[in-house]
Amino acid sequence: MKGWKFLFWLFALLLFIDFVTLPFSDDIGLWSFVGLVFGCVALIPYYGYAYQVSIGSIDFWRAMFLIQVALVIISIYDPVIANLLHVPNLENVLIAFVMVLILCLVFIPAYRYAFRSGHLWAAGI
């Protein structure tokens, strides 16, 4: 679990940096705040999985995981997938492969928390 705790604290640090740098951003809008709130909520399953505690409802975290995956797919479509479809060369294939691999590794704790940690809710931990 040490690796997952490290990942949680890394994401927490990055989210904290987003909070601190937001007032100095040139383009602050409603979506900046929505993104921060979503980031805070999305960080909770990483904490729950790393420290093996149940927070909220398992059904909520399952839905949240699917929403996160959908948002990531939508956000990487334009810079990566569309580029790969329009210019299919080895460099673009490798970039897409590495990005998908990193995303899969990053989503492991959220997936396991939502779909493989039913024992946390059953035990009331």
pTM: 0.82
Q: Are 104 and 76 in contact (CB under 8 A)?
A: no
Give the list of residues 6+ apart from residue 28 with CB closer than 8 angstroms, or none: 22
Domain count for the chain: 1
For the ranges 11-20, 82-91, 108-117, the lowest mean pLDDT is seen at 82-91
State the average pLDDT for the chain: 87
Rg from Cα positions in the chain: 17
Q: Which amino acid, 87?
A: V
pLDDT top residue among 81 and 67: 67
The answer to whether residue 4 scores a pLDDT higher than 80 is: yes
Which residues constitute the domain of residue 28? 2-123
Q: What angle do CA 67, 32, 108 make, to 5 degrees?
A: 35
